[in-house]
Amino acid sequence: MAKDKTIYTCTECGGTSPKWLGKCPHCGAWNTLIESVAESHSPVKNRFASLAKPSEVATLADIEATDMARTPTGHEELDRVLGGGIVEGGVVLIGGDPGIGKSTLLLQALDSLQRGFDARLSAAGPTQGAKASSGGTLYVTGEESGAQVALRSRRLGLDGSQVKVLAEIQLEKILATLEATRPAVAVIDSIQTVYSDQLTSAPGSVAQVRECAAHLTRAAKSSGVCIILVGHVTKEGALAGPRVLEHMVDTVLYFEGDTHSSFRLVRAIKNRFGAVNEIGVFAMTEKGLKGVTNPSAIFLSQHSEPVPGSCVLVTLEGTRPMLVEIQALVDSGGPSPRRLSVGLDRDRLAMLLAVLHRHAGIACMDQDVFVNAVGGVRISEPAADLSVMLAITSSLRGKPLPKGFIAFGEVGLAGEVRPAPRGQERLKEAAKLGFSVAVVPKANAPKKPIEGLTIHAVERVEQAIEVVRSLA
Ligand SMILES: Nc1ncnc2c1ncn2[C@@H]1O[C@H](COP(=O)(O)OP(=O)(O)OP(=O)(O)O)[C@@H](O)[C@H]1O
Ligand SMILES: [Mg+2]
């Protein structure tokens, strides 16, 4: 019998090479190639595919464009990031730091989905009910025993939960169970523990993760079951396993936020069925994760009087505007001053300091500069620039910004203030939460005044600084 061909797979990018190399020829990472079995020599028989009949080919125009049926999970914040609920045949990958609450959230979601299915079943009557008996939920646990999952469900107050639990890590058995029980939604906790006996490499290796995810995805597409995969993250915070995993699935969700605080953010990084960068905000309680309906409240610290170095930003993550406090501390530094940022991009901070010096004549060369987005939120949009800049100047001068002040806008290297997308919505959200003064890019100034909000439209950085000085 011919010896199985081995190839070397990069743990970073999933690229392959026929021989071992110190540096991956695809992504250039060092020491990442590991031995695995060549895929063409180890086909795993897809049990779902073997049962499926050949499909008919249809012309695009002939296909009826029905909107995808979404089943809400009953957790509003989770539905928001999913784009409205779970989709038949959809595959969701959810990643996050250890202990952040992945299993908790999914167990809660499965339980409320199961309750929804049961309610629909009993409403449909016995004849319809028998037909729909296959649609339900399945929680496949590879990391914990059934007893541990049960213990968690009791703690979460999910007594009498009808969620089906399978403690299994072998792919072929999981696929067979999915085929036999035909659930509507299945959670695989986690993809790194699942292994296929057709591959010799250990569970969690690149080859195994890729192979198992590919088969589960195929099973989801052919049978219509929605599969939610839990993924581990690497030390660097990226999803462990090859990048291809993110391409394979329909939706990628990430748990973010500080494990020290009780708030958890779930962000959609990729979504074939909804908006990306949408975030759901949860609070971790003894009874599990609870959705936070007014997230702005947690990203603002409650100062009774304005303090120097604090500026409120209206950010738009996904489709929802949120108010986040940006804090800056500028303090005299040593011979090599430090620039540190939490929740904001550090390179962008260095750029803003350079713009501030060049165009507004405000120098922080000999100062340590620290900036922080309150509440553990990560801000990636450039519309935060103006707020960061105003917080820095406020701290440097030791003068607080006016009470009820907000700002947003992107700052360019030439010192111009560029508009942010959907400025009107941001301003309306600020007015709704009782803010009264705003400094915004000229193009974002509304044509009609917004009640309760005085708006100062600026075109340049120095103009923004001047406006703030005149208000103080
Ligand atoms: N009795 C409790 N009261 C409050 N919070 C609790 C309690 N027990 C556990 N938790 C919270 O639940 C978290 C664990 O959640 P969970 O097991 O869902 O995380 P996970 O993301 O699945 O972790 P892993 O990657 O290890 O599987 C803990 O970090 C803690 O914050
Ligand atoms: Mg877990």
Ligand 1 neighbour 260 (Cβ under 6 A): no
Q: What's the rounded Cα separation, in Å, for the pair 73 and 385?
A: 36
Ligand 1 neighbour 284 (Cβ under 6 A): yes
Torsion of CA 448, 450, 451, 457, to 10 degrees: -110
Ligand 1 neighbour 102 (Cβ under 6 A): yes
* Ligand 1 probe mutation, 78, 93, 94, 103, most atoms within 8 A of CB: 103
Ligand 1 neighbour 43 (Cβ under 6 A): no
Centre of ligand 2 to C-alpha 231, Å, is 10
Centre of ligand 1 to C-alpha 265, Å, is 15
Q: Please enumerate in sequence order all residues whose Cβ is within 8 A of that of 113, keeping only pairs 6 or more positions apart, or say none.
A: 71, 73, 74, 86, 137, 184, 185
pLDDT (0 to 100) of residue 3: 56
Q: Cβ atoms within 10 A of the Cβ of 393, count? A: 25
Ligand 1 neighbour 103 (Cβ under 6 A): yes
Question: Cβ(82)–Cβ(131) under 8 Å?
Answer: no
Angle formed by the axes of helices 461-471 and 346-360, nearest 10°: 80
Centre of ligand 1 to C-alpha 285, Å, is 10
Which helix (H) or strand (E) covers residue 78, if one does?
Answer: helix 76-82
Q: Cβ atoms within 10 A of the Cβ of 374, count? A: 18
Sequence ranges of the domains in the chain: 1-38, 72-293, 297-471
Centre of ligand 1 to C-alpha 99, Å, is 5
Q: What's the rounded Cα separation, in Å, for the pair 357 and 380?
A: 23
- The 10 Å CB-count burial string (b at 16+, else e) for 96-135 is bbeebbbbbbbbbbbbbbbbbbeeebeeeeeeeeeeeeeb
Ligand 1 neighbour 191 (Cβ under 6 A): no
Ligand 1 neighbour 461 (Cβ under 6 A): no
Centre of ligand 1 to C-alpha 248, Å, is 28
Question: Which atom of ligand 1 lies at the shortest distance from residue 107's CA?
Answer: 18
Pairing assessment for the beta strands 185-189 and 33-37 based on DSSP bridges:
unpaired
- The two tokens of residue 290 are 């609870």
Question: Which residues are near ligand 2, the ion (C-beta closer than 5 Å)?
Answer: 103
Question: Which atom of ligand 1 lies at the shortest distance from residue 102's CA?
Answer: 21
Ligand 1 neighbour 104 (Cβ under 6 A): yes
Torsion of CA 28, 31, 32, 36, to 10 degrees: 120
pLDDT (0 to 100) of residue 242: 61
Centre of ligand 1 to C-alpha 101, Å, is 5
Residue pLDDT tens, the chain, 472 long: 455 677 888 877 778 888 889 998 988 888 888 877 675 544 455 555 566 678 788 888 887 776 677 899 999 999 999 999 999 999 999 998 888 999 999 999 999 999 999 988 888 766 554 444 568 999 999 999 999 999 999 999 998 899 999 999 999 999 999 999 999 999 999 899 999 988 877 888 888 888 899 999 999 999 999 999 999 887 666 666 666 788 899 999 988 877 777 888 898 989 998 888 888 999 999 899 999 888 887 778 777 888 999 999 999 877 788 899 999 999 998 888 999 999 999 999 999 999 999 999 999 989 999 999 988 788 989 999 999 999 999 999 999 999 999 999 999 999 999 999 999 989 998 998 889 999 999 999 999 999 999 999 999 999 999 999 998 7
Q: Which ligand is nearest to the CA of 94?
A: 1
Residue whose C-alpha is closest to residue 98's, from 134, 57, 143, 55: 143
Centre of ligand 1 to C-alpha 226, Å, is 24
**pTM beyond 0.75:** yes
Q: Cβ atoms within 10 A of the Cβ of 222, count? A: 16
Does CATH number 3.30.830.10 belong to domain 297-471? no
Ligand 1 neighbour 215 (Cβ under 6 A): no
Ligand 1 neighbour 22 (Cβ under 6 A): no
Question: Which atom of ligand 1 lies at the shortest distance from residue 190's CA?
Answer: 27
pLDDT (0 to 100) of residue 129: 46
- Residue 220 phi/psi, 5° resolution? -65, -45
72-293, what's its fold?
A: Rossmann fold (3.40.50)
Q: Cβ atoms within 10 A of the Cβ of 2, count? A: 5
